[in-house]
Amino acid sequence: MSRLSIVVPVYYNEDTLMDLYEDMRAKILEKLGDYEIVLVDDGSGDRSWEIMNHIRDLDNRVRLVKLSRNFGEHAALLAGLSVCTGDCAVTKQADLQEDSEIILEMYDSWKRGNKVVLAVRRSRDESRVKIFFANLYYSLVRKFVNKNMPAGGCDCYLIDRKVIEVLERLDEKNSSLTLQVLWAGFQTDMVYFDRRDREKGESRWTFAKKFKLVMDSMMSFSYIPIRLMSLVGVFFNIGAVILFVSVLVEYFTKGTPIAGWSSLMCVVLCSSGLILLMLGILGEYLWRTLDAARTRPPFIIDEEVTPGELIKKPAGHTNLDG
């Protein structure tokens, strides 16, 4: 019998963890057969780790992973995938905004031969502002990064063991795990669900993290930022030549004096701003190159708790090196 691993990143989710487990136990766990739940504490500063241990006491098929600090959801999911033992694994958010029953649909799709199954949002019971910016992000991704990104976007997905092995080999930092899954190109199916608004707890998905996701998505999977720099440079060079020619024509045909200090300062400030913007984009690429060259692990596992033992790992991600 095949085993399904349910990987849940946990970050300040003390208010929802027990509700999440009870929801899964009531709706899906008995129907899955052989399963395991992998809860990954991504450096939470609340009682999440304590509640995770309580859930493990209730269910002997729960595996716990505690990271040494907060590495981000991307790293937490990688950590969970690196220790899971299932033939396939599904990612699940801990905020109760997705119905647990979609896992059954995704699992059935995997049994039909699909290596990747995406849980796509059909609708969102959230504020119009959140919906607008979420749709804007996914539109940009579809247009400039990966056309296979669903229009409604997806945070949860089921992946086959082969896909897990690919993600472990990629071992990328400052990237989007969802886009890595799509980039791998395995046979993909989609199931649809209605995303509920968050009822408990406070979201830690800040504007800074959202902005970083946009930057990582564009710079890790698209050459558009670099190509845009070249296009802007060509555009301004053409504009400068046209302006220069028009000034000379005015001067020699109508005797119009060439404007002095004010116009010159406008050109200097505009061009300087553009240069700094381009240097900033190049700096983003250089920083990512440096971060990858240092070969620091994307996460460090402090503790791993299995049903029968407590294992302390001094270094994270060593399992990827054999």
Comparing C-alpha atoms, which of 271, 186, 286 is closest to residue 226? 286
- Indicate whether 92 and 112 sit together in one domain: yes
- Indicate whether 182 and 260 sit together in one domain: no
- Indicate whether 91 and 123 sit together in one domain: yes
Mean pLDDT (whole number) for 190-197: 82
The CATH number assigned to the domain holding 14 equals 3.90.550.10
- List pLDDT tens digits, range 203-225: 666 677 777 777 777 777 777 77
Question: Which residue would you say has higher pLDDT here, 274 or 107?
Answer: 107
- Indicate whether 174 and 265 sit together in one domain: no
Q: How confident is the model at residue 262, as a pLDDT? A: 57
Identify which of 118-132, 174-188, 304-318 has the greatest average pLDDT.
174-188
Rg for the chain, CA atoms, rounded: 25
- Indicate whether 151 and 46 sit together in one domain: yes
C-beta separation of 120 from 105 below 8 A: no
Give me 7's structure tokens: 């990987």
- List pLDDT tens digits, range 226-263: 777 777 777 777 777 777 777 777 777 877 666 666 56
- Indicate whether 15 and 69 sit together in one domain: yes
Where residue 122 falls among pLDDT bands split at 50, 70, 90? confident
- Indicate whether 86 and 233 sit together in one domain: no
pTM of the model: 0.74
Q: How confident is the model at residue 268, as a pLDDT? A: 76
Our count of domains for the chain comes to 2
Q: SS3 string of the chain?
A: CCCEEEEEEECCCCCCHHHHHHHHHHHHHHHHCCEEEEEEECCCCCCHHHHHHHHHHHCCCEEEEEECCCCCHHHHHHHHHHHCCCCEEEECCCCCCCCCCHHHHHHHHHHCCCCEEEEEEEEECCCHHHHHHHHHHHHHHHHHHCCCCCCCCCCEEEEEHHHHHHHHHHCCCCCCHHHHHHHHCCCEEEEEEEECCCCCCCCCCCHHHHHHHHHHHHHHHCCHHHHHHHHHHHHHHHHHHHHHHHHHHHHHHHCCCCCCHHHHHHHHHHHHHHHHHHHHHHHHHHHHHHHHHCCCCCCCEEEEEECCEEEECCCCCHHHHC
Q: Which domain holds residue 201?
A: 4-221+297-321
- Asked whether residue 148 carries a pLDDT value surpassing 80, the answer given is yes
Q: 13-27, 126-140, 176-190: which range is least confident on average? A: 126-140
Question: Which residue would you say has higher pLDDT here, 239 or 185?
Answer: 185
C-beta separation of 76 from 148 below 8 A: no
Q: Kind of pairing, strands 35-41 and 4-10?
A: parallel
Q: How confident is the model at residue 318, as a pLDDT? A: 41
